[in-house]
């Protein structure tokens, strides 16, 4: 049927084959026939073939290779789902020959536009790694790149890959730590679990312990404070309030909402995170959530109870309020019952013991005998732990001795034995009672325990003891080995204390023991005989026989079996099994001194790599020299930004108002750590005082500048003295990238001051703009790095067909606002809008628009919302949530998304208040319908080559030569259109790239400077209408002086 | 992560296997069977078994075992599988296979949100299979579900309904242990709000309660905005399409829980005779004017019980001599005539009498009442223009309600 022409027949055949696989039957002989269908157009057949391939490719490697080319083609498919599934299957067929192909595919996919494909790339990394661990270095590079990804979809998978491939490379996390913390809530559930586990380990290595001094941290305390920037602290070494690292706090705060997750695994992960890294006072909140989990399935209950058991040993108070939740139901499975008992025991204290004992009484009567026995043990443990109730327990246990069930009686005997041992008081009555029981009990452990007890206390029960021995001698041969040993012991002890009555009996028993089948018993017999029966050979030892046998025995400690589990990380498999499972990562102890917190400061992305070496270079002499060199430049830029920061500070305010508390703290922290690390620098000390008066934006700028200078210094130092190439352990390719990016930075430094202004903002916003779509202008030099990186990676590529296009962040965001509703026509309600140039959160195809509403009346305006929409076909609006009321003189900024369908048509809608409706419309400037794109020059040229003829429009511009400096052109172009800069090899050609928001078609812009004062402006795009409109708009802008 | 997955039915046949990494032979399951044999009851199979090379993790649902094989350290992952019976899986092997393929990649969970899976692989319906056979199209979606990429992964894009409806079921369950004398040892209320939302477009709902302070510990569906709950105690969310569990909550045990029924019981076994007496009566207590329905009493009798000879005044009873489970289906309680069940118990002759009386598990239902007093105040919708039809239903049920005798 597979040969059939009809899809339906093929499908039917494939379904049968997959059915066979599922049942575990071998279907491998069909391999060739199936592989032929891999190129099928029908997506369902394709999927089933994939299933088949994954199952059998390993066995038939040669034939599997036939299908590889199909996958390679599918990897270029415009449909992201097909790309992703091709990658998934390609990486799942475990054929070692195709490792290089897989490597390539992963690299390409990791730069894919679709986060879904990138997610699959992250998965593929693990698979490739397990297939061929030699690829580790290359894979780490890809992981590093993917870790920077902002998509929540990717985050979970890449952390998973990180854990699998290189869990020890904690340095890769530094940069992304804050981002991960902030994204955590939005990541899908399974990703959350992995990330939380990783962050727990991270936190344990990077932060100092928040636990109080009683945890044995006194000696570390001093060190810790020394490492802090505040030198004053050292003078008075009295107890200081512990100050938690803000990043540590961030993690704890961000995971808190996840305790309310519906996914048990997430709750468990957060619980272990709190347990391991949060201050003891805060860990309390986890108990509530864990108790909630007890309602779910038995498997979940089992795991959770185990973890609670471990926790309850260390911290009783945590679960005490929930004591009753651990009461046992008769329908619980035995393992759950025993775990609950365990917890109840751990929680027992003087206050609640009476209720607990009453509860235990019910349990003892349970039909489940195993459970009843466990309860008896529990009672024993309670009795030892809480001295007040020991007697009560003991009496209760003695009552149980008359129980009809053997297991219960046996268990009570064992427990009583242990209890009596701890109490040197007279308990003759009980012992006598037990001696009587010896006739009826058959369980060996119990019999042995009774014998031992009698032997130990034989002086207190002189009448019974020899009698018991007599009985036992009679039945010796039929006893269990355990009992035999105890009989021997008893005989020896009696012989020593009461040799008159028992001499013959002992002789008899020893003789029996001598010919026993078990060698242990024979050995013991021989040993005892030598020791106690005096003869000429054994001299010295027999004198001490009495001491040896009747020594005071230390009472056993009844301990929880969960006592030793606490060294395993909670919530892990190892913890559950109480053995070390493969791949278990030890949770390290708290570091004594906090590692430099500044490593987590998120710098401008391109500088990420250089930061660590830069930090080190600071302390070195050559670096200082360079600082002084760059000081001038810095000072000047400083002053310039001061004078020209109108727009910057304006936007700063706006940004602040929309920022929430978490952002605040992180930006605060930026400045803190910045000042910390530079404590030694006089220059910064001077500046520190300045900073206090300045707004956040300047803070960010300072950071930026710092890294820049250190960066340039670094570049120079490495060029001058290459031998002392710092302490970088990066590969050559990386350093190449570095130097390239340094070049770019230097170029950027030369750019105009205006350019600097928006640039200054990025620090405080960088890690926030993911969840803060309404953020203020952000200018990121990302495009400067990514292309070079991509170009670099492309060099490694074997195939040249790929073109890597990824959306980057806007270079510049103009603050130009447009009037939506004038206050005169809006009866006091004024509305302005502007384009924040952020990817829209409401949909991929939407342009985000920010609307600022002002109330200029002296009354409240209530219920502002969007009413009727009059949109051209295809256009969509995602409206903002209605605003309940706007105070007089108040203003509020909301964001909405509009899908303009790549046209400049007007979106008309009604802006309504409680009483009125106003017709308003938004017409987008063509430049706002674009999203900037980062690409390399090579890609640019290739794409340009494909977009010629009809798709090309060009014009000539004439203007004064001073308008043709690179910075002026850049400024003018980005002002008009939201495009990304493409690094250019030639001075006279400037290239920009973007894609349209709705359809994602490329928009390539070239400004070529010619002789004299002319220049040619070329636009290549499929969307010729937009292209020509953009050309018309750009031309006058570039022409004017 | 998960290496392989085996589905095993209660008679011990492996009827489906799936491998994500290299193939693991079926023989691993022998370890599992061994453990299963050791445990007398299906419920008692340990969830984690360690074998020389692998660890087996088993999950028991609806008479099926999901046994997954793993090799290295994992944080415990709890899979959700919905209701599934053996027959259903056997009929749809291919679909289940495709689902598993989508759900886990390399053993790491990829997509478990049912809404997304439905879009990737459309659930078979009779109508669609007819259409498919005519048009030859497949029921495997060829585009990536948009939800997967957007910020709200739980909702499908482009939902359309002619009738826009939003229903909420507030279901509360009473967990209680009541001791011999009728005193409450332990009682707490566990509640859930299940929603059935059929609304077009992208509605943004907010649900507020009359008395949100009642909720002690809450867990949310990921769609709920946590910040709004923290600050205003309002549930604000963009709902997934169809049925889902919005929140589940716990009303703290510190509050007094009103127990709606009482049970009078006297069960006794005579020493040295093969008979015993059994007598239980159920009556309503603090039922707030609502009728208590659907009462069933199940009792796990001790092993020595051979048979029972009982007469109910209301409803019907069954006794399974193999599992020793007595089930009494009572139905409604009418206060005039309290239902009771009386009769004789036949014991195995010669065996010692059981020293403990069995405990009674009781099920009941009260319509239109949330026992904790929780009330939904209002539901508002933003983002869409149409007027939805809204409805809230309250039910109180017995959860793990146990009376010790």
Contacts (Cβ under 8 Å, ≥6 apart) of A707: A603, A604, A607, A610, A611, A614
Closest CA to A496 of A536, A451, A550: A550
pLDDT beyond 70 at A1039: yes
Tell me the per-residue pLDDT of A770-817, one tens digit each, with 9 for 90 and over: 434 333 343 334 333 344 444 344 433 333 333 445 666 666 666 677
Question: Highest-confidence range of A258-262, A461-465, B70-74, B327-331, by mean pLDDT?
Answer: B327-331
User: Residues B302-338: pLDDT tens digits?
Assistant: 777 888 888 888 888 888 888 788 888 888 877 777 8
List pLDDT tens digits, range B67-87: 555 444 443 443 433 333 333
Name the residue with higher pLDDT: B350 or A166. A166
Q: Do A297 and B221 touch (CB under 8 A)?
A: no
Q: How confident is the model at residue A564 (pLDDT cuts 50, 70, 90)?
A: low
Q: Which of A64-78, A430-444, A919-933 has the lowest mean pLDDT?
A: A430-444
Mean pLDDT of chain A: 67
Pairwise CA distance, residues A953 & A1005, whole Å? 10
Give percent of chain A above pLDDT 70. 64
Nearest to B340 by CA among B385, B392, B396, B277: B277
Cβ pair A292:B219 closer than 8 A? yes
Label residue A317 by pLDDT band (50, 70, 90).
Answer: confident
pLDDT of A332 higher than 60: yes
φ/ψ (deg, to 5) at A988: -95, 0
CB A340 within 8 A of CB A332: yes
Give mean pLDDT, residues B383-401. Answer: 83
Cβ burial, residue B396 (10 Å; 0-12/13-18/19+): buried
- Which of A76-80, A246-250, A566-570, B167-171 bottoms out in mean pLDDT, i.e. has the lowest? A566-570
Ramachandran sector of residue A902 (left: φ over 0; alpha: ψ -120 to 50; beta: rest): left
In angstroms, the separation between the Cα of residue A265 and the nearest Cα of chain B is 6
pLDDT bucket at A600, cuts 50 / 70 / 90? low
A115 contacts chain B (CB < 8 A) = yes
Report the mean per-residue pLDDT for chain B. 68
Residue B143 has pLDDT above 50, yes or no: no
Q: Is the pLDDT of residue B118 over 60?
A: no
Lowest model confidence (mean pLDDT) among A81-85, A310-314, A436-440:
A436-440
From chain A, the residues in CB contact with B93 under 8 A are: 18-19, 22
A367/B352 touch (CB, cutoff 8 Å), yes or no: no
pLDDT(B30) > 70: no
> What pLDDT, on the 0 to 100 scale, is given for residue B142?
38
Identify each DSSP E strand in B34-183 by its residue range.
48-50, 55-61, 64-70, 104-105, 108-109, 165-178
Distance of CA A481 to the CA centre of its chain: 54
Paired with B190 in beta bridges are: B173, B250
ipTM over 0.90: no
Q: How far apart are alpha carbons B125 and B134 in whole angstroms?
A: 14
The alpha carbon torsion through A355, A361, A367, A371 (nearest 10 deg) reads 70
Find residue A920's DSSP bridge partners: A909
Q: Average the pLDDT over A401-411 and give the result.
A: 70
Helix (H) or strand (E) holding A397: helix A390-400
Higher local confidence (pLDDT), A254 or B170: B170
pLDDT of residue A800: 36
In angstroms, what CA-CA distances link A643 with A350, A780, A860, A911, B183?
71, 22, 38, 39, 78
User: Which residue of A42, A115, A291 is in closest CB contact with B149?
Assistant: A115
For residue A425, what are the CA distances in angstroms to A384, A413, A416, A555, A826? 15, 18, 13, 13, 94
Pairwise CB contact (< 8 Å): B19 & A79: no
Question: Do B103 and B112 touch, CB atoms closer than 8 A?
Answer: yes
Residue B349 DSSP symbol = T
Residue B190 distance to chain A (closest CA, Å): 9
Of B21, B75, B143, the CB nearest to A571: B75
pLDDT at A404 exceeding the cut of 70: no
Contact list in B for residue A295 (CB cut-off 8 A) is 175, 190, 250
Contact A894, A851 (CB under 8 A): yes
Q: B355, A403: Cβ pair inside 8 Å?
A: yes
- Compute the nearest-CA separation of A908 from chain B (Å): 17
Mean pLDDT of A930-935: 80
Which tens digit of pLDDT belongs to each residue from A27-66? 777 777 777 777 777 777 777 777 777 777 777 777 777 7
Cβ contacts of A300 on chain B, cutoff 8 Å: 78
| CB-CB neighbors (< 8 A) of B78 in chain A | 263-265, 296-297, 299-300
What are the backbone angles phi and psi of residue A166, rounded to the nearest 5°? -140, 65
With 60 as the cut, is the pLDDT of residue A94 above it?
yes
- pLDDT value of residue A605: 34
User: What distance, in Å, lies between the first and last C-alpha atoms of chain A?
Assistant: 74
Buried residues in A217-252 as b, exposed as e (16+ CB within 10 A) = beebbeebbebbeeeebeeeeeeeebeebbbbbbbb
Q: Which residues of A touch B14 (CB under 8 A)?
A: 24
Shortest alpha-carbon distance between residue B351 and chain A (Å)? 11
pLDDT at A193 over 50: yes
Confidence at residue A580, expressed as pLDDT on a 0 to 100 scale: 54
**Chain A residues 429-488 with a CB less than 8 Å from chain B:** none
Lowest-pLDDT range, A269-273, A313-317, A932-936, B359-363? A313-317
Count Cβ–Cβ pairs < 8 Å, chain A vs chain B.
241
Look at residues A119, A112, A111, A63 and name the one whose alpha carbon lies nearest to residue A91. Answer: A119
pLDDT of A236 over the 50 cut? no
Is the CB of residue A289 less than 8 Å away from at least one CB of chain B? yes
- Indicate if the pLDDT at residue B195 is higher than 80: yes
Contact at CB, A583 and B78, closer than 8 angstroms: no
Q: Is the pLDDT of residue B367 over 80?
A: yes
Rg of chain B over all Cα atoms, to the nearest angstrom: 25
Strands B165-178, B389-403: pairing is: parallel
**pLDDT beyond 80 at A223:** no
Report the pLDDT value the prediction gives residue B126, as an integer from 0 to 100: 40
Residue B248 has pLDDT above 80, yes or no: yes
CA distance B133 to chain A (A): 8
Asked which of A193-202, A469-478, B63-72 is least confident by mean pLDDT, the reply is B63-72
- Residue A549 pLDDT: 65
Q: How far apart are CA B262 and CA B264, in angstroms?
A: 7
| CA-based nearest residue in chain A for residue B92 | A19
* pLDDT (tens digit per residue) in A711-730: 444 444 444 444 444 434 44
pLDDT at residue A810, as a whole number? 67
Cβ-contact B307, B321 below 8 angstroms:
yes
The pLDDT, as a whole number, for residue B5 is 63
Is the pLDDT higher at B46 or at A41?
Answer: A41
The per-residue pLDDT for range A940-967, each reduced to its tens digit, is 888 777 777 767 788 887 777 777 777 7
Cross-strand bridge partners of residue B48: B57
On whether any CB of chain B is under 8 Å from the CB of A369, the answer is: no
Question: Measuring CA to CA, which residue among B230, B147, B151 is closest to residue A773?
Answer: B151
Q: Kind and range of the H or E element at A632? A: helix A621-644
Q: How confident is the model at residue A114 (pLDDT cuts 50, 70, 90)?
A: confident
CB contact at 8 A, A928 and A850:
no
- CA distances B76 to A349, B72, B276, B281, Å, are 32, 12, 47, 45
Instruction: Give pLDDT, residue A888.
Output: 76
CB contact under 8 A, A299 and B149: no
Residue A158's pLDDT band (boundaries 50, 70, 90)? confident
3-state helix, strand, coil in chain B (%, to 5): 15, 45, 40
Q: Specify the pLDDT at position A328.
A: 78
Q: What is the pTM of this model?
A: 0.57
Q: Give A-chain residues touching B19 at CB under 8 angstroms.
A: 55
Taking the C-alpha atoms of residue B22 and residue A59, their distance in angstroms, rounded to an integer, is 10
Highest mean pLDDT among A376-390, A598-612, B100-114: A376-390
> Do A844 and B149 count as a contact with CB atoms less than 8 A apart?
yes
pLDDT of residue B54: 53
pLDDT tens track for B262-273: 888 888 877 666
B253: which chain A residues are within 8 Å (Cβ-Cβ)? 324-325
Whether A704 and chain B come into contact, CB under 8 Å, resolves to no
Q: What pLDDT, on the 0 to 100 scale, is given for residue A1003?
A: 82
Whether residue A566 has pLDDT greater than 70: no
């Amino acid at each position: 049927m597979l040969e059939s022409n009809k899809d339906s027949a093929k499908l039917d055949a494939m379904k049968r084959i997959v059915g066979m696989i599922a049942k575990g039957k071998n279907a491998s002989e069909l391999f060739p026939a199936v592989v032929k269908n891999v190129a099928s157009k029908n997506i369902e057949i394709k999927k089933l073939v994939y299933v088949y391939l994954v199952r059998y490719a390993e066995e038939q490697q040669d034939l599997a290779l036939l299908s590889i080319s199909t996958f390679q083609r599918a990897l270029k498919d415009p449909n992201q789902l097909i790309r992703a599934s091709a990658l998934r299957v390609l990486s799942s067929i475990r054929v070692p020959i195709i490792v290089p192909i897989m490597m390539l595919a992963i690299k390409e996919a990791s730069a894919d536009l679709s986060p879904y494909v990138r997610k699959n790339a992250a998965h593929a990394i693990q698979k490739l790694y397990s297939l061929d661990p030699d690829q580790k270095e290359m894979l780490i590079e890809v992981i590093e790149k993917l870790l920077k990804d902002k998509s929540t979809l990717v985050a979970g998978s890449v952390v998973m890959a990180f854990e699998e491939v290189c869990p020890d490379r904690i340095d890769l996390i530094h940069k992304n730590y804050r981002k991960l913390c902030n994204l955590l809530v939005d990541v899908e559930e399974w990703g959350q679990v992995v990330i939380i586990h990783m962050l727990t380990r991270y936190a344990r290595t990077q932060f100092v312990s928040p636990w109080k001094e009683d945890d044995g941290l006194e000696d570390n305390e001093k060190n810790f404070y020394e490492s802090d920037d505040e030198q004053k602290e050292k003078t008075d070494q009295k107890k200081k309030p512990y100050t938690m690292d803000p990043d540590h706090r961030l993690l704890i705060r961000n995971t808190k909402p996840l305790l309310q997750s519906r996914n048990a695994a997430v709750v468990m992960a957060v619980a272990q995170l709190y347990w391991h890294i949060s201050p003891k006072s805060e860990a309390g909140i986890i108990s509530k959530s864990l108790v909630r989990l007890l309602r779910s399935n038995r498997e979940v209950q089992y795991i959770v109870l185990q973890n609670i058991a471990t926790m309850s040993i260390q911290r009783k108070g945590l679960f005490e309020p929930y004591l009753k939740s651990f009461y046992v139901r008769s329908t619980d499975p035995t393992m759950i019952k025993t775990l609950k008992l365990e917890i109840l025991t751990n929680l027992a204290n003087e206050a609640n013991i009476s209720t607990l004992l009453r509860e235990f009484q019910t349990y003892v009567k349970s039909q489940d005998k195993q459970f009843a026995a466990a309860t008896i043990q529990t009672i024993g443990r309670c009795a030892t732990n809480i001295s007040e109730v020991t007697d009560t327990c003991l009496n209760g246990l003695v009552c149980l001795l008359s129980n009809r069930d053997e297991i219960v009686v046996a268990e009570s005997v064992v427990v009583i034995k242990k209890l009596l041992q701890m109490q040197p008081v007279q308990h003759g009555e009980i012992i006598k009672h037990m001696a009587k029981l010896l006739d009826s009990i058959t369980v060996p452990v119990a019999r042995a325990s009774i014998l031992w007890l009698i032997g130990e206390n034989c002086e207190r029960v002189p009448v019974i003891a020899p009698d018991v021995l007599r009985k036992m001698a009679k039945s010796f041969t039929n006893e269990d080995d355990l009992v035999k040993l105890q009989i021997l012991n008893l005989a020896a002890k009696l012989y020593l204390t009461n040799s008159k009555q028992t001499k013959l009996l002992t002789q008899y028993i020893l003789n029996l023991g001598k010919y026993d089948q078990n060698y242990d018993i024979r050995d013991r017999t021989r040993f005892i005989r030598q020791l106690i029966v005096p003869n000429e050979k054994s001299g010295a030892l027999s004198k001490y026989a009495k001491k040896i046998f009747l020594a005071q025995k230390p009472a056993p400690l009844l301990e929880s079996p969960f006592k030793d589990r606490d060294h395993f990380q909670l919530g892990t498999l190892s913890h559950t099994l109480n053995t070390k499972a493969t791949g278990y990562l030890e949770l390290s102890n708290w570091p004594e001194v906090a590692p430099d917190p500044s490593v987590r400061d998120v710098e401008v992305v391109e500088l990420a790599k250089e930061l660590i070496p830069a930090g080190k270079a600071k302390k070195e002499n050559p670096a200082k020299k360079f600082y002084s060199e760059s000081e001038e430049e810095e000072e000047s830029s400083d002053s310039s930004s001061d004078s020209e920061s109108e727009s910057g500070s304006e936007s700063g305010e706006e940004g602040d108002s929309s920022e929430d508390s978490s952002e605040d703290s992180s930006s605060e922290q930026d400045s803190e750590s910045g000042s910390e690390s530079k404590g030694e620098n006089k220059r910064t000390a001077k500046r520190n005082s300045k900073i206090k008066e300045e707004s956040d934006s300047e803070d960010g700028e300072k950071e930026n500048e710092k890294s820049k200078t250190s960066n340039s210094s670094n570049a120079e130092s490495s060029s001058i003295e290459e031998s002392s190439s710092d302490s970088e352990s990066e590969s050559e390719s990386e350093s190449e990238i570095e130097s390239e990016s340094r070049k770019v930075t230097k170029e950027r430094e030369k750019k105009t001051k205006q350019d600097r202004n928006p640039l200054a903002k990025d620090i405080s916003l960088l890690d926030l703009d993911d969840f803060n779509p309404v953020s203020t202008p952000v200018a990121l030099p990302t495009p400067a790095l990514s292309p070079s990186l991509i170009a670099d990676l492309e060099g490694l590529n074997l195939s040249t067909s790929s073109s890597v296009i990824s959306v980057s962040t806007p270079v510049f965001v103009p603050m130009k606002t447009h009037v939506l509703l004038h206050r005169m026509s809006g009866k006091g309600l004024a509305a302005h809008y502007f384009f924040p140039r952020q990817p829209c959160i409401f949909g991929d195809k939407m342009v985000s628009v920010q609307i600022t509403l002002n109330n200029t009346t002296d009354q409240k305006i209530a219920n502002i919302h969007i009413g009727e929409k009059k949109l051209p076909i295809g256009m969509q609006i995602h409206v903002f949530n209605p605003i309940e009321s706007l105070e007089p003189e108040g203003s509020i900024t909301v964001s909405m998304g509009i899908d303009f369908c790549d046209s400049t048509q007007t979106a008309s809608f009604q802006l309504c208040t409680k009483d009125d409706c106003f017709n308003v419309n938004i017409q987008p400037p063509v430049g706002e319908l674009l999203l900037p794109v980062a690409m390399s020059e090579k890609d640019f040229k290739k794409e340009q080559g494909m977009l010629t003829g009809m798709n090309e429009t060009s014009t000539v511009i004439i203007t004064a030569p001073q308008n043709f400096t690179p910075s002026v052109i850049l400024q003018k172009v980005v002002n008009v259109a939201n495009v990304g800069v493409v690094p250019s090899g030639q001075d006279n050609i400037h290239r920009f790239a973007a894609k349209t928001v709705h359809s994602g078609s490329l928009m390539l812009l070239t400004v070529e400077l010619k002789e004299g004062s002319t220049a040619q402006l070329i636009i290549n795009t499929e969307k010729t209408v937009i292209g020509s409109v953009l050309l018309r708009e750009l031309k006058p802008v570039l022409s004017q002086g | 992560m998960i290496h392989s997955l085996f589905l095993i039915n209660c008679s011990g046949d492996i009827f489906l296997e799936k491998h994500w990494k290299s193939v693991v032979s079926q023989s691993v399951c022998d370890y599992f069977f061994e453990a299963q044999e050791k445990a007398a009851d299906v419920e008692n199979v340990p969830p984690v078994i360690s074998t020389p090379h692998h660890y087996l993790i088993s999950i028991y649902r609806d008479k099926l075992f999901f046994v997954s094989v793993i090799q290295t350290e994992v944080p415990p992952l709890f899979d959700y599988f919905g209701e599934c019976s053996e027959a259903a899986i056997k009929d749809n092997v291919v679909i289940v296979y495709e689902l598993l393929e989508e759900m886990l990649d390399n053993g790491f969970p990829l997509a478990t949100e049912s809404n997304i899976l439905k879009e990737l692989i459309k659930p078979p319906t009779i109508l669609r299979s007819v259409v498919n056979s005519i048009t030859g199209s497949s029921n495997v979606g060829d585009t990536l579900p948009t939800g997967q990429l957007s910020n709200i992964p739980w909702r499908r894009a482009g939902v359309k309904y002619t009738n826009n409806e939003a229903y909420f079921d507030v279901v509360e369950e009473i967990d209680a242990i009541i001791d011999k004398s009728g005193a409450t040892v332990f009682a707490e209320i566990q509640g859930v709000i299940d929603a059935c939302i059929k609304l077009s477009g992208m509605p943004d709902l907010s649900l507020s309660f009359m008395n949100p302070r009642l909720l002690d510990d809450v867990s949310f569906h990921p769609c709920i905005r946590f910040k709004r709950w923290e600050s205003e105690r309002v549930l604000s969310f963009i709902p997934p399409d169809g049925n889902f569990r919005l929140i589940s909550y716990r009303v703290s045990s510190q509050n007094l829980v009103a127990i709606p029924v009482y049970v009078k019981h006297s069960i006794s076994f005579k020493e040295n005779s093969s008979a015993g007496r059994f007598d239980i009566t159920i009556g309503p207590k603090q039922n707030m004017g609502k009728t208590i329905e659907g009462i069933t009493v199940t009792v796990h009798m001790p092993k020595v019980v051979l048979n029972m000879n009982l007469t109910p005044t209301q409803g019907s009873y069954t006794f399974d001599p193999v599992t020793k489970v007595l089930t009494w289906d009572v139905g409604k309680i009418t206060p005039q005539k309290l239902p009771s069940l009386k009769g004789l118990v036949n014991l195995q002759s010669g065996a010692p009498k059981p020293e403990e009386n069995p405990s009674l598990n009781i099920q009941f239902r009260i319509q239109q009442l949330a026992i904790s007093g929780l009330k939904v105040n209002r539901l508002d919708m933003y983002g869409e223009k149409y007027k939805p039809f809204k409805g809230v239903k309250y039910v109180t049920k017995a959860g793990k309600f146990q009376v010790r005798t």
